[in-house]
Amino acid sequence: MPLCCRVFIATSLDGFIARTDGSIDWLMEAQRSVPEGEDCGYEDFMEEVDVLVMGRNTFEQVATFDPWPYGDLPVIVLSSQPMSEPDSPTIRVCSAGPIDLVAELEAAGYRNAYIDGGQTIASFLREGLIQEMTITTIPILLGSGRPLFTGIEHDIHLERVATRSWPFGFVQTTYRVQG
Amino acid sequence: MPLCCRVFIATSLDGFIARTDGSIDWLMEAQRSVPEGEDCGYEDFMEEVDVLVMGRNTFEQVATFDPWPYGDLPVIVLSSQPMSEPDSPTIRVCSAGPIDLVAELEAAGYRNAYIDGGQTIASFLREGLIQEMTITTIPILLGSGRPLFTGIEHDIHLERVATRSWPFGFVQTTYRVQG
């Protein structure tokens, strides 16, 4: 069984996942208009995920959250530079490239990987390793920041799977990556 | 009565309205999957429009279309550099900035302006002169090109008015610009 690599992420209408300095204040602000109990499909998405792959930057941000938000889900932190192994049985640092990591996770029996963090998503997309993307568009233009899509060098065709929208202005579309 | 300036445009999922060389081959290609008679709301939109404002680049592209697609709708071509006046009673070249042009169109009794072309939309947005944007997202990533949103220097908050999606993969959302 192949591994399905999925993205679940929010962007501004102009395609940024964070400001240039990494700040997601605009996203936190937008989330204040989301009614209690509405998670925009996150829990349903996470129910199918059996491994989470993120970059070092994202990990360092998430590591400041208390409590740790991913329970006992295995988490792989990709880092090309040496970093100390986190003190947790579920978190592992890995310096492999996307292709090798996917092969390794497949061999280990994983089926659904949540690929997170701008650079990590970009490197997986470049290698044609993302099968599905759920993008939630927040009704704001930032003008500048860290783009979700970067380093793509040829057309990538997508198939729309589902679209949802909410009264608080978010629009969420799930795409399957073709080819 | 104030003038309502509206945008109605298609972009790739990564926010480009054309490739770097101006080509919209990817959009033409995508439109081939649209069933005959489906115009994704364009005619309804155009019914309310009483004047069209576009930049010189867009005009030069549209001018190659045969027949001229805008009937007897008044068209203003914005150009900061001298250009010859088109041989048509409905087309006028104008070198005014967005603020002056809006004042002039308002004084002339226009109510709904269709603002088109990347640079023109950007200059109107920068001046806070766009009230409504209908953006149709085409299911493709181009990687590079001419972005719809450019030169924005501060957050612009939007209100989602409506979202539609189609089996051929387009997702269209109308936003009202706040503030």
Distance CA(A161)–CA(A175), nearest Å, equals 5
Cβ count near A91 (within 10 Å): 20
Work out the pLDDT band at B82, boundaries 50, 70, 90: confident
Per residue in B106-151, pLDDT tens? 999 999 999 999 999 999 999 999 999 999 999 999 999 999 999 9
CATH number of A129's domain:
3.40.430.10
Number of folded domains that form chain A: 1
Distance CA(A16)–CA(A137), nearest Å, equals 10
The answer, for A126 touching chain B at a CB cutoff of 8 Å, is no
In terms of CA atoms, which chain B residue is nearest residue A176? B139
- Our measurement of the distance from residue A71's CA atom to the centroid of its chain's CA atoms, rounded to an integer in Å, reads 17
Tokens representing residue B163 in the block: 């979202």
pTM: 0.95
* B71-79 average pLDDT score: 96
- Sign for the CA dihedral angle at A72, A176, A110, A150 comes to negative
Let me know if A82 is exposed, middle or buried by CB neighbors in 10 A (0-12, 13-18, 19+).
Answer: exposed
Which of A70, A67, A63, A57 shows the shortest CA–CA distance to A23? Answer: A57
The interface predicted TM-score (ipTM) is: 0.95
Which of A16, A125, A159, A173 to probe by mutation at the B interface, max B CB count within 10 Å? A173
Q: Which residues, 6+ apart, have CB-to-CB distance to B118 below 8 Å?
A: B17, B18, B55, B57, B58, B146, B147, B148, B150
- Residue A139 is nearest to which of B13, B149, B159, comparing CB atoms? B159
A179 with A125: CB under 8 angstroms?
no
Distance CA(B109)–CA(B112), nearest Å, equals 10
| Chain A residues touching B171 at Cβ < 8 A | 160, 163, 171, 173
Furthest-apart CA pair in chain A: how many Å?
45
SS3 category, B2 = coil
Alpha helices of chain A — where are they, by DSSP H?
Answer: 25-31, 42-48, 56-62, 98-107, 118-126
What percent of chain B has a predicted confidence (pLDDT) above 70?
Answer: 100
Range of the domain at A15: 4-177
Per residue in B13-44, pLDDT tens? 999 999 999 999 999 999 999 999 999 999 99
Does residue B145 come out as left (phi exceeding 0), alpha (psi in the -120 to 50 range) or beta?
Answer: left
| Chain B residues touching A151 at Cβ < 8 A | 143
The length of chain A in residues reads 179
Q: Characterize the bridge pairing of strands A112-116 and A91-94.
A: unpaired
In terms of CA atoms, which chain A residue is nearest residue B122? A143
As a whole number, the mean pLDDT across chain B is 95
Distance CA(B20)–CA(B172), nearest Å, equals 23
For each successive 10 residues of chain A (179 residues), what is the average pLDDT? 95 97 96 97 97 94 90 95 88 95 97 96 96 98 96 96 98 95
